[in-house]
Amino acid sequence: MSVGHRFIRGVAWMAAGGWTEQAINFVVFVTMAKLLGPELYGLLSMAAVFIVLAEALVRESVSEYLIAARDPQPEDYNATFWLTAALGLVLALLLWALAGPIAALYGHPIVAGLIRGLSVTVLMIAFTAVPVAILRREFNFRVLSLRAIAGVVVGGATGIAMALAGWGVWSFVGQWIAMIATNVVMAWTAVEWRPGLRLGWPHLRRAGAFGAQVLGLRMAELAVVQMPTLLIGATLGPLATGLYSVSWRLVETLTFLISTPLRMVSQPAFAAVAREGGRAGELLLDIARLTGVVAFPFFVGLAVVAEPALRLFFGTEWLGAAPVLSVLAFLGLYFAIALVQQSFCLAAGRAGAITLLTWANVALGAVLMLGAARWGLVAITAAFVAAHYLLWPLRYRLVARIGGMDAAPLVNCNIVPALATAVMAGAVILVHRALAAAPLGLDLALSILAGIVVFAALTLLLMRDRLSLALSYIRPAAPGGEAA
């Protein structure tokens, strides 16, 4: 099976798993929120922010070395496993030690127990990072998708059962641990590799050096995400922070559903093409052409319908978030394309270059947002998004240099989708205005339908080559024929 075909199958599995996982998560969240109420959920949120940060640092950091490595030896797998386990242990112990001071800062002693109870998940994720990397390297995304779905099912059932039995806030802890434990079991049972003690200093040095660079990248990504909330809270207060947080949560969820399958699958695909002697840059260009057909209408459409969507699903009291959501939608568009470029750099073993660029994003974003604070929430949000777009040309240049290619095709392939999306957005606005007197649900549904029809027609008219490209990847290569 060609790399291209494995890429499409992997994206399909990850997309199906991600959408199913989020749907189940939503049902579980609503059920447990009704059973336990906002106060207990707030206590969990106080503890969860630190757990999520620590989990993110071990989930995809040192283990990324195994995907980029051309021909990893058993010693490389062992070195990566023990380095990741050590990182997880350090972070878990740090959480345990800081739990008391954090709880004192919040003024709720129970938060310390929640942090200590959940800190075990950081170590669990560290122990399963290598099996997950092996599954990604082997394009076994079917297992990864089923693993994610099984985790939310088992975790959700555990949490709801504990809530009904009167465990209170500890029901969230039980849900979390059961979900991660299910993920661990399914990952380890899907791979034959087991850790050993045979390793040497060169293997530790290579895995550690690459892992340190990726760890710096993950820290920069976390800083980028958390920085707007901190600055808005410090300069504009709780109301603006709440409006921004809801908008970001919506964009983050939709970005996860669109970008995560592409990011997770493209990295091993780029590495596989390089190992087979092909040009990973050509695959990057193909993915960029296909991504534009999906990302542009999805996120620009979100920007256009932000106001009626918030009015329908959240109520009029949240309408202040509409312009924020419209601006942040363009950040979702950026991530859909830029995260694939980032995966290209990681697959090429160039984690250091993309890490420096991400930290530059943090610095520029902070300067621009502080300067825009005097003009309010929308201005701060626009400054945050602008920082990413201003540095995007440097990312294009970096990717082109790594791929030994010209940056122009990577940029130009977005022109036609962007124009088609502009026409689509105009059609949606016209339909929405024409249906101003109609029920809001009908108005939103018909506006979205009009956008879909217009963009689909323009795709058939202007982007048939991209449909043919997608079909060439979907169809398996003929026996004895050339791979896609």
- How would DSSP label each residue in 46-61? HHHHHHHHHHHHHHTS
Note whether 21 and 149 are within 8 A (CB): yes
Mean predicted confidence (pLDDT) in 48-62? 85
Rounded mean pLDDT, 291-318: 90
The whole-number pLDDT of residue 475 equals 73
Task: Report the first-to-last Cα separation within the chain, whole angstroms.
Answer: 9
pLDDT of residue 38: 67
Q: What is the pLDDT of residue 478?
A: 45
> In the chain, how many H helices and how many E strands?
18, 0
The DSSP string of 108-135 is -THHHHHHHHHTHHHHHHHHHHHHHHHH
How far is Cα 415 from Cα 64, in angstroms, rounded to an integer? 33
- Which alpha helices (DSSP H) does 373-438 contain, by range? 377-403, 408-412, 415-434
Decide if pLDDT at 219 tops 50: yes
Task: For residues 368 and 252, give the distance between their C-alpha atoms in angstroms, rounded to a whole number.
Answer: 21
Please give the backbone phi and psi of residue 108, each rounded to the nearest 5 degrees, phi first.
Answer: -130, 100
CA dist 271 to 127, 187, 284, 408, Å?
A: 24, 21, 11, 23
pLDDT of residue 480: 44
pLDDT at residue 424 is higher than 70: yes
What is the reported pLDDT for 349?
Answer: 85
d(CA 445, CA 37): 32
- The answer on pLDDT for 74 being more than 60 is yes
What integer pLDDT is reported at residue 450 of this predicted model? 95
Dist. CA 40–CA 172, nearest whole Å: 9
Indicate the pTM of the whole model.
0.84
- Residue 338: pLDDT band (50, 70, 90) is very high
Residue 107: pLDDT band with limits 50, 70, 90: confident
Q: Is the pLDDT of residue 94 over 90?
A: yes
Q: How many CA atoms lie within 13 A of 37 on its CB side?
A: 4
In the chain, what is the greatest distance between 2 CA atoms, to the nearest angstrom? 72
User: Span 260-273, mean pLDDT?
Assistant: 87
209 Cβ partners below 8 Å, 6+ apart? none
User: How much is the average pLDDT of 57-84?
Assistant: 89
Average pLDDT over residues 397-409: 92
pLDDT digits (tens, 9 = 90+) for 122-177: 999 999 999 999 999 988 989 999 999 999 999 999 999 999 998 988 998 999 99
Q: How far apart are the C-alpha atoms of 253 and 258, rounded to whole Å?
A: 9
DSSP state of 407: S
User: Helix crossing, 238-275 with 322-347: angle to 10°?
Assistant: 30
Sole residue written with tokens 């890490």: 355
Q: Which two tokens stand for residue 65?
A: 């070395």
d(CA 459, CA 374): 42
pLDDT of residue 105: 80
Q: Report the distance separating Cα 435 and Cα 426, nearest Å.
A: 14
Residue type, 87: L
Looking at every residue in the chain, the average pLDDT score rounds to: 88
Give me the pLDDT at residue 476, please.
56
State yes or no: pLDDT of 422 exceeds 90.
yes
**Angle, CA of 376, 382 and 388, to the nearest 5°:** 145
pLDDT surpassing 70 at residue 482: no
Q: Which of these, 332, 261, 274, lies nearest to 303 by C-alpha position? A: 332
What is the token pair recorded at 94?
A: 């740090």
**Sequence ranges of the domains in the chain:** 1-199, 213-475
| Cα dihedral 39→45→47→50 (10° resolution) | -170
Instruction: Looking at 190-237, list the stretches that DSSP marks H as alpha helix, in order from N- to C-terminal side.
Output: 201-236
Q: How far apart are CA 32 and CA 160, in angstroms?
A: 6
The predicted model gives 397-407 an average pLDDT of 92
What are the Cα distances from residue 33, in Å, to 9, 65, 150, 158, 421? 36, 39, 21, 14, 38
d(CA 280, CA 286) in angstroms, rounded, equals 10
How sure is the predictor about 1, in pLDDT bands with cuts at 50, 70 and 90?
A: low
